[in-house]
């Protein structure tokens, strides 16, 4: 299992940038897989606690049922549009994918299920300093950090 703290140890700068984007807004978007294999997109709150990325699901929610049946997920940070003429100020966007590990009931707030992320991939998409190229940096436990630039 790859916990968030493992990502922080392996690629601290990337982990910091990704966490900053996730922490900037309360609501994120999660993709799960329905029973028939088709994708489902849902809003979700996710937080970094004790070296883990954790998120919950309310009782009888479809995303929780999806994750219990097939734990694969993709989590996307909130997205903000670049400001025309100020593209260099765009903070970018972040994605984390992996497997959701059931961690019991939620301990605070309404009833529900708690999940911990077994991180398979971390992606940070942003512009280069000149705001002329799209930069995609991604890390996996198997292949480490990679980067591509696109016009």
Which CATH number goes with the domain that contains 83? 2.30.110.10
Q: 1 or 112: which carries more pLDDT confidence?
A: 1
Both tokens of 133, joined, read 């190229």
The total of other beta-carbon atoms located within 10 Å of residue 111's CB is: 10
Rounded to an integer, what distance in angstroms lies between the CA atom of residue 151 and that of residue 149?
7
Q: Are 63 and 72 in contact (CB under 8 A)?
A: no
Q: 56 or 147: which carries more pLDDT confidence?
A: 147
Flag whether pLDDT at 108 surpasses 70. Answer: no
Nearest Cα to Cα of residue 33 among 102, 103, 97, 121: 97
Q: What Cα–Cα distance (Å) separates residue 46 from each residue in 72, 133, 148?
A: 16, 30, 28
Q: What is the largest CA-CA distance in the chain?
A: 48
> Which pLDDT band, with edges at 50, 70 and 90, does 82 fall under?
confident
Q: What is the pLDDT of residues 8-46, one digit of tens each?
A: 999 999 999 999 999 999 999 999 999 999 999 999 999
**CB contact set of 86 (below 8 Å; sequence gap of 6+):** none
Domain that holds residue 28: 4-150
Rounded to an integer, what distance in angstroms lies between the CA atom of residue 22 and that of residue 144?
21
The stretches of the chain forming alpha helices (DSSP H) are 4-10, 12-23, 62-69
DSSP 114-134: EEEEEEEEEEEEEE-TTS-SE
Number of structural domains in the chain: 1
What residues pair up with 53 in beta bridges, in sequence order? Answer: 48
> Is 0.85 topped by the overall pTM?
yes
């Amino acid at each position: 299992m790859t916990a968030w703290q493992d990502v922080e140890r392996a690629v601290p700068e990337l982990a910091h940038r990704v966490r900053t984007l996730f922490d900037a807004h309360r609501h994120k978007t999660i993709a799960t897989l329905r029973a028939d294999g088709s994708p489902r997109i849902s809003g979700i709150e996710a937080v970094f606690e004790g070296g883990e990325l954790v998120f919950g699901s309310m009782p009888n929610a479809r995303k929780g049922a999806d994750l219990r049946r097939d734990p694969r997920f993709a989590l996307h940070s909130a997205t903000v549009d670049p400001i025309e003429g100020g593209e260099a100020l765009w903070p970018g966007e972040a994605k984390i994918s992996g497997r959701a590990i059931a961690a019991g009931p939620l301990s605070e707030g309404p009833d529900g299920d708690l999940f911990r992320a077994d991180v398979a991939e971390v992606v940070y998409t942003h512009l280069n300093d000149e705001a002329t190229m799209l930069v995609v940096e991604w890390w996996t436990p198997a292949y480490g950090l990679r980067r591509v630039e696109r016009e």
